[in-house]
Every structure is written in structure tokens, then in C-alpha cells.
Structure 1
Amino acid sequence: MVKRLELRFKSGEGKTKVIGVDQPIENLDPLVAQAAMEEIINQDMFEVEGIKPFVEIKDARYVTRTVENIIEEV
């Protein structure tokens, strides 16, 4: 099973933008995640073609997926 933390933001266009963290800390305190996301927004260091990708917190979530090989690497 592979777990990933997704920090999801609204962009200046109202679209959802995601920062993904592989192998995150388990049971992250929501206040810690919120503080980190607020810091990303407040640093205002990202802009793509004149649009800010991280202007508002949407949510944060863990995403888990299961990978099952049917043919092993040879």
C-alpha cells in the first residue's frame, strides 16, 4: 500500500492545485498541516503565467492506493 499526503489549494483561477508528499508522517495534526499550507500561501513565491496557484486552502487528505504486480520485473 502506498500512502501520499495531498495539500489541496484553490488557485487564482478557482481551480484545484495539489502539492503531493510521498511517504508522509502518519496521523499528522490538522493544525500542523493548516499552518504549513498557510505558510505556503503567505510566502507568495509561486506564479505560473501570471496566475498564483496557491491562494486559498481547500483541504488536506491522505490518499492510499494498493499496487499489485501481475508480472514481476525480470
Structure 2
Amino acid sequence: MKRLQLRFKTAEGNKKNLVLSYVKSDLDQKVTQEAMEKISASKIFEKDTVELYKEILGAKYIERVETEVF
């Protein structure tokens, strides 16, 4: 299964990831960046009054491969 990792910077300058499962596997930069801009602009994600998804850093797909031994 592919997951989409959205990378942001918090208001304090720390890196923060938002990982989404069950996403389309063919999203392009334009669609992904627009969605990330909406997440950032919404300002609804906070922890201890610190905005978690303040600045967009990038996005990537992560694919986990499991190989059963027995």
C-alpha cells in the first residue's frame, strides 16, 4: 500500500509530517500542492497554541514492501 507523506514546517520551525493512507497513487504536484496549501491556510491544526502545518516543505509517496519468510 502506498501512503502519501505531506511534509510541513511548524510555526516554531520544526518539521511535521502528515501521512495519509488510501490515497490515489497518481497525484501530481499541482493537485498535491493545492491540497497542502488549503491545509496550511485552514489553521485548524494546533498543539499548545503552535500551528502545526504552517509552511509547505514537500510531499512524497512511501511504499512499504513486506516479504514473508515463513
User: Is TM-score (shorter-chain normalized) higher than 0.5?
Assistant: yes
Is structure 2 residue 15 aligned with structure 1 residue 16?
yes
Measure, in 2, the Cα distance between the counterparts of 1:38 and 1:47. 16
Alpha-carbon contact 2:4-2:59 (below 8 Å) kept: yes
Residues 1-74 of structure 1: pairs in structure 2 closer than 5 A: 2-71=1-70
Structure showing the higher strand proportion among its residues? 2
Aligned partner of 2:30: which letter?
L
Q: Structure 1 length as normaliser, TM-score?
A: 0.84
Give TM-score, length-normalised by structure 2. 0.89
Q: Secondary structure at the match of 1:9?
A: strand
**Which structure has the bigger radius of gyration?**
1
Does the Cα contact within 8 Å between 2:11 and 2:54 map onto a contact in 1?
yes
- Between stretches 15-24 and 3-12, larger displacement belongs to 15-24
- Percent of residue pairs bearing the same amino acid type: 36
Partners of 1:62 and 1:3 in 2: CA distance: 6
The gaps in structure 2 that reach 5 residues or longer are: none
Segments of structure 1 that go 5 or more residues without pairing to the other structure are none
- Size of the aligned set, in residue pairs, is 70
Moved over 3 A (4+): none
Q: CA deviation at 1:46?
A: 1.3
